Amino acid sequence: MACINPDGTLTVSAKAILSALSSPAALEKVAKSTDLPLFRIRSSIREMLEAGLVEKEEGKYAATKLGREKIEGGKDDQVKTDL
């Protein structure tokens, strides 16, 4: 997975994306605030949805409880990794 390292920690770009999702946001807004291209945001969000780090609500995306814990550095072992 491009967002989650084999040891379960997040990549730098994944942390940036999750941080931008501390409150619900559209993907275009996340692309602007992280300075990452929109295709990277879409691809990463897909992975993070699968891993339970992000949820979608009314067309916007937000970090889940697990996602917020990941940015704060705790409970790494709860993330599904794909080794």
Q: Work out whether 22 is an interface residue with another protein (CB under 8 A).
A: no
User: Considering beta carbons, is residue 1 or 66 the nearer one to another protein?
Assistant: 1
Q: Work out whether 50 is an interface residue with another protein (CB under 8 A).
A: no
DSSP 7: T
**1 vs 7: CA distance, rounded Å:** 11
Nearest approach in angstroms of CB 81 to another protein is 14
**14 vs 18: CA distance, rounded Å:** 6
Q: Which of 15, 29, 32, 40 binds another protein (CB under 8 A)?
A: 40
**56 vs 48: CA distance, rounded Å:** 11
**64 vs 49: CA distance, rounded Å:** 9
Q: Work out whether 43 is an interface residue with another protein (CB under 8 A).
A: yes
Q: Work out whether 39 is an interface residue with another protein (CB under 8 A).
A: yes
Residues that bind another protein (CB under 8 A): 1-3, 37-40, 42-44, 46-47
